[in-house]
Amino acid sequence: MPPIGLLLGRVDFSTLFLSLSGQHFDSLKAAKEAGAATLNYGNFLQAVVDFVLVAFAIFLVVRAMNRIRRAEAPAPPATKECPHCLSQVPVKASKCAFCTSDLAP
């Protein structure tokens, strides 16, 4: 996460908080030292941002792996053999173009 933090301008949401006691504190550390009740919504935002970034990275890796695997898979045959005259005919053909015999689907 440090390189991504550098790219985003060193944004750190973990220091954001809301004091529930009504007093103003300059930092989260000062509020904790005073024993004030705080709502640390910055930690939640930081966890959400971290999750989204990691999920996106995993998505890109899985997508690349699927592309590689799809490229390696052999293509289905485009022709089949006529059982009567042993000629190559298209897979979707219902009659042989050479001997005009009916082909099984």
Asked if residues 99 and 87 have their Cβ atoms less than 8 Å apart, the reply is: yes
Query: pLDDT for 29-77, tens place per residue?
Result: 888 888 888 888 888 888 888 898 889 999 999 999 999 888 777 778 8
Asked if residues 89 and 80 have their Cβ atoms less than 8 Å apart, the reply is: yes
Question: How many of the other CB atoms lie within 10 Å of CB of 31?
Answer: 21
DSSP state of 12: -
**What percentage of the chain has pLDDT greater than the value 70?**
91
pLDDT at 5: 67
